[in-house]
Structure 1
């Protein structure tokens, strides 16, 4: 892209929620927009989050947001990564209390545009007070957002896409933290309503085009996809843990191994952990399992947390890791044949990029809808819980074997490869279009919360 009307780059402040699953796509979007050479990008988060970013491009400036330090919530816990679930309401409260500090950042930086997340409706209000335009960036699936808006706007009316949604998962016994989820949905809707005439989404038309169209009708805003935004795996020669994982994986046959991970913000219940462990054992496939425990709670050793004798019984076909593993590098390896995932949206998209079929095991929030979407596009199968929300080791083992080794899974495995090819061919298609949209928004100015644009007046912004 080249500029011809703009005499300077536009300054953009990006402001994600404090979860890794939000910061990662915001950072990838920052990189993509910076690479267009049209924007100066600043990303704002807490020191606890910023220090965890492994790669920090020189073109992206980081701005620290300091939350109040509370007795139960010291600065190193100002992140959702590893945060015990009972402290999440406190973190959200501390985040909301930082409104004045964030307003100060806006006054000092004077950005041309704010790109904000779905948990902080006060951010676009602060921007509007300074006549700074703002746009929301939704890092969850379009389908999940669409469901939330439909249920709020049309209660009692059947969703047009019933295949993507089923009430037993969304409001039944499976979902954890129901009240917090409903509060979050209110925040999502307010944040979207306060956005400019557009909404940015981490998606692409090939998988969510029809849902984007319906969400546009529900919100009266244009839905602008920015693509999958999957970080490229980083080579870290001196990372002993990464090297040992990849060396172990090299000893397995092509497509023979599943990667098991449930994200950085969810901790398995004792019942789920036990069923998953036995399910993996019964499946008789090789696996790499990443287990995480809350940071501040007393944690058991791996051998104590897992069923008695499990590690010894599966030692020849398993690698059980605590804390962190190089997910991108693992999923991109030829010997990985499946991804046992909670279906957080970033993980689902990452599986699509690397062509790895998904064994979907959603836990809460938007994950059940994402799991349905994974099945709908044909790249995975779900391990369905019973009516009481319980997992079954036998069901899990059967789905793992179906996806990874049986003839039944050939269609899923082939579809996953095709999806990877689609993403590879798309290149920067969505980013280039989104960048033009954002430049037009910068040129209009006037603060967030504007209604849909009534004109499509052309602006000289250069060539793509």
Structure 2
């Protein structure tokens, strides 16, 4: 007779960022609930947004955490129907194509293990029905914050109230429970255009949020009080007749230090930071895929130079002027920094500034005593990393749900100032860069933001304390699994 074990199966969306988030959740579960004696099984897709760094990362985690088991699904090649299909639409198509492989793997695992729960990435809703049909309780892991969760939960109602694409609704504000008003043209990119298949996939995902047994959110209650309340009270779920999913705020989950395998020269910046005065350096980084045109890079450079402040700036390979987006898939392509920055800039600022190409160890950078400000693209992982480090921020949203996060950072948390972006192309002038750097580093408002950031740093630490809100939420989550499938 085959011995039956107990496992929790996790299913991340493609891409290293989504995988790291799922692994961090897995490590948290194993660390806080060692007495439960369950293993973690993570299903990995193959054929879209693959990268050599994923394999090395998986190997490292497998060696250090043998209770985390990885299964790579069969390779699937996505063929797009048009050359204009959005990246989001292609991603959804790829995830849906994997549904049959996910079902096969769940059935295979079920032969030797009791699957206590199936935790899917928020974009993998297409796998929800197959697990439910097998009697496996499905939970959604929401890697963004509670404000975005509230907006997405409310999206089916917003959808029903208009027939126009949001990108055409200039001057119109979207109001969702738990959120500050948001310009319609700044809604998350996958829902901007009703002609894009991604719009309808997002609607499907948002409609299915309320069908999960529970939603695990990478935030902590004290960070997003208004948004958490809106979700827990059910204000953002249009179908109030349905039994609402339980909400588990178990963050902040952030990547461990030194998790990247990018160029080692990025780490040289740490020794440079250690030589700078306390709270004197402004750190600029725009995520794993955020980039700019050469024209925008030169404006940033001029603003930094005029500000007079020390800076550490991560510059990625520039996008084309007519690219129409601030995302670049290959951020590590070879390019010369001197060719994309103003003539003589690096030489003129070498006594107080450092420019690194493509990558820096962000978690370690933010923890350095010399870092006094963080210019961020408002990606949720970066927001949490800034919060945990207690570093005040300058909010410069680029794509996805980052404009929603910008509102939370500036208006609710009050841990950031925001850059003013021109309408249409969202361009930011050098004068604006200088102004916001000075505001954060020199003004009374900047001092208030700094003090509030340090308070949130303490709250983030306390959330994982013995009686912390995230610790309690995690315990409640595991308890629900025990009630469903007693050990």
2:9 to 13, 18, 27: 13
Are 2:68 and 1:63 equivalent residues in the alignment? no
Deviation at 1:52, TM superposition (A): 4.6
Any residues of structure 2 matched to 1:21-420 within 5 Å, and which? 21-35=17-31, 36-37=33-34, 38=36, 39-46=38-45, 48=50, 50-53=54-57, 55-56=60-61, 57-69=65-77, 89-110=89-110, 111-154=115-158, 155=161, 159=175, 164-168=180-184, 170-171=186-187, 178-179=192-193, 182-183=199-200, 185-196=202-213, 198-216=214-232, 217=234, 218-219=236-237, 220-234=244-258, 240-241=264-265, 243-293=267-317, 294=328, 300-375=335-410, 376-388=412-424, 389-420=426-457
Deviation at 1:417, TM superposition (A): 1.0
Would the alpha carbon gap of residues 233 and 241 (structure 1) be closer, same or farther in structure 2, given more than 3 Å must change? Answer: same
2:474 to 416, 420, 434: 434
Partner Cα distance (1:257, 1:280) in 2: 11
Would the alpha carbon gap of residues 93 and 59 (structure 1) be closer, same or farther in structure 2, given more than 3 Å must change? Answer: same
Partner Cα distance (1:409, 1:51) in 2: 42
Partner Cα distance (1:138, 1:410) in 2: 32
Partner Cα distance (1:271, 1:278) in 2: 11
Structure 2: segments with no counterpart, 5+ residues: 163-172, 238-243, 318-327
Q: Is the 8 A contact 1:343 1:362 kept in 2?
A: yes
Deviation at 1:285, TM superposition (A): 1.6
Partner Cα distance (2:56, 2:192) in 1: 29
Partner Cα distance (1:415, 1:243) in 2: 29
Deviation at 1:394, TM superposition (A): 1.1
Tell me the SS of whatever aligns to 1:265: coil
What's the TM-score once normalised by structure 2's chain length? 0.78
Partner Cα distance (1:190, 1:248) in 2: 49
Deviation at 1:184, TM superposition (A): 5.5
Q: Is the 8 A contact 1:343 1:360 kept in 2?
A: yes
Q: Is the 8 A contact 2:153 2:209 kept in 1?
A: no
Q: Is the 8 A contact 1:137 1:200 kept in 2?
A: yes
Partner Cα distance (1:440, 1:8) in 2: 20
Q: Deviations over 1:161-202 (max 9, x none)?
A: 68623215524xx96983366345324304413311x21111
Tell me the SS of whatever aligns to 2:391: coil
The corresponding residue for 1:76 is none
Tell me the SS of whatever aligns to 2:359: coil
Deviation at 1:125, TM superposition (A): 1.4
Would the alpha carbon gap of residues 311 and 175 (structure 1) be closer, same or farther in structure 2, given more than 3 Å must change? Answer: farther
- Report the more deviating stretch, 379-388 or 157-166: 157-166
Tell me the SS of whatever aligns to 2:57: coil
